Structure 1
């Protein structure tokens, strides 16, 4: 699954984690010294002041340059180490997707800051009629257009790029498996493995991987923001004053949801795996029946379809109580920040702008911590696909 597309997968992904940790250490230990030596901010932002914030300050330009250098710097050794024909897609393409995710998180952080000042302005306009001019109101909307329109263009382009990325991965797996077709063709549902599961696996791993990396980046950016905003929260219900209160509420909420859904959904991966197994047997009988009258007899087809129906009904039953727990939790989680902010709202110690910032930052942090809870259904399907492909790959000669 991975060997066909990535060079030395275990070493590749393991070294990526190590490289990320090393880059973080370099940033905090030597970032200032390196900025003075190689940063492009004097060239790109010679007159940058407060009006250029938050994207074109000297520190931001250096951060973007460092992240870009670190990301593509990781790709360079793999050009010489076990490079295959998919290098530009598997290595450089993955690095590009990571950089775009970082850029999107930066835009989200800027929007969170903008919401705070803009909604405070709305509060002022409503409380003091005539204090905010219409020119000022509409003028503050213009920067959003400057930021979001290019961001939309980037989102469209990365979606187009990701589609090709997934199909290249599927192509790599397809050709890899077909090299060993004579060894694996007798495996149950072999044609389905090559034709369908390769695409499902590539798309699922890319989606979940991108969401996971995005969640980590979101936490890195929004956790400090939410911790700072927590200083303006007077107290929590029952618990009273807690340092970093909103961060702890988000962590407890996400941990509870993850444990809950893992507990109620532990049977689903096996059922998904078995579902594809009975579907493959039914499909195989029908395909054989197209060429020979000995196959697809009514009784045998009825028996095979009975297995399909039985497994689907079991699957529907288990998904029913799983979805009850899932939707109850996700809907209830929407009210956690309101409950946490109740005492502060009642005492009037926060402004409307701060309230919007808290909601946005809390939602970002909580969704990142809820990665497993939000992705559990897709993870279940990926596990079933992985199990089928692993069974398939066991027949490939070592």
Structure 2
């Protein structure tokens, strides 16, 4: 999965230089976010001044602020579009590297259950998911590095927070505590999902394989056999739907509650009227950026579940290459009921 791309001379330019380019572009986008956050403070202070005292600002000052945002936004859009285009090629090259490695060992792999699906589909899914999670992780770390000092400094303007009272750098601790709470709750709630996703791929592969054989062999994919295999698919999907039901209830309830956290934390300060509108906007945006970075696992948990499923399939696949006479390791899953 990794060796065929990152340790191959053929793919060195894409794997090493391409990764470096993606990381640099990610860092640059974070710096643009910082500039936008600073703009919000300046613009809303100007807006508050204009609304409090009519005629206190000129039209030139107002439109200058608008043009400043537009210039930053255009750079951000350009970088985002170019990088996303490059990432699509990057992911496909990774898939191509895995595909070539597996096809070079096809004689050993062809007997593995769902071999065609693993080469044709799982390689692309694996490369795409790992790239996406990796970029999101680096963006979260870079965002923390950029916005945590900003929130640390801006938190000095918060006089107190409900229940806890006056705490130095309070919003940083509120952000960290709320993110840690959500991560633990969602990890516990979704603990069964990786195994169910893995089982889902197994039953789908078995059903697909029988139908493909049935295209050329009339004796295969008979109605009773196809119905039995589809029942396995149905049974596993319904179990998956049920477990995702309560997982989604917890996830979306937590994320919606996250909107209220900074409003509650800054409530006493806002009521006291000791900060300006611009400072409020800067603090709120910095808090959101830091909290979203801390919540990396919260936002990524469903994707991580899918990655675990794909990884387990490809790991068992590669075990056949290195240990052709040994059965793939037991995944510890309970056999499916028809």
Note if contact 1:183-1:397 (Cα within 8 Å) is conserved in structure 2.
no
Query: Does residue 173 in structure 1 map to residue 98 in structure 2?
Result: yes
Report the Cα distance in structure 2 between the residues aligned to 1:147 and 1:122, rounded to whole angstroms.
19
- Contact 1:279-1:308 within 8 A present in 2 as well: yes
Equivalent of 2:180, from 252, 255, 258? 255
Which residue matches 1:306? 231
TM-score by length of 1: 0.80
Partner of 1:161: 86
Contact 1:251 1:369 in 2 (8 A): yes
Give the deviation of 1:130 after TM superposition: 1.2
Provide the residue aligned with 1:221 in structure 2: 146
Match of 2:332 in 1: none
Mapped pair 1:270 → 2:201: no
Equivalent pairs counted in the alignment come to: 323
- Which residue number in structure 1 is paired with residue 326 of structure 2? none
CA distance in 1, matches of 2:209, 2:100: 22
In structure 2, which of residues 117, 128, 133 is the aligned counterpart of residue 192 of structure 1?
A: 117
How big is the alpha-carbon RMSD for the aligned residues of Structure 1 and Structure 2? 0.8
Q: Which residue of 1 aligns with 2:35?
A: 110
C-alpha contact 2:197 2:309 (8 A) present in aligned 1? yes
Using the alignment, how far apart are the partners of 1:392 and 1:335 within structure 2? 46
Q: Distance between the aligned counterparts of 1:138 and 1:84, measured in 2?
A: 53
Deviations 1:15-69 (A, max 9, x none): xxxxxxxxxxxxxxxxxxxxxxxxxxxxxxxxxxxxxxxxxxxxxxxxxxxxxxx
Aligned match for 1:139, one of 64, 67, 73: 64
Equivalent residue number for residue 4 of structure 2: 4
Q: Superposed, which structure 2 residues align to 1:7-46 within 5 Å?
A: 7=7
2:316 equivalent to 1:391: yes
Superposition TM-score, scaled by structure 2 size: 0.94
Runs of 5+ unmatched residues, structure 2? 324-338
Aligned pairs for 1:66-85 (under 5 A) are 84-85=9-10
| Aligned twin of 1:51 | none
Q: How far 1:149 sits from its partner (Å)?
A: 1.1
8 A contact 2:34–2:147 mirrored in 1? yes
Report the Cα distance in structure 1 between the residues aligned to 2:70 and 2:256, rounded to whole angstroms. Answer: 31
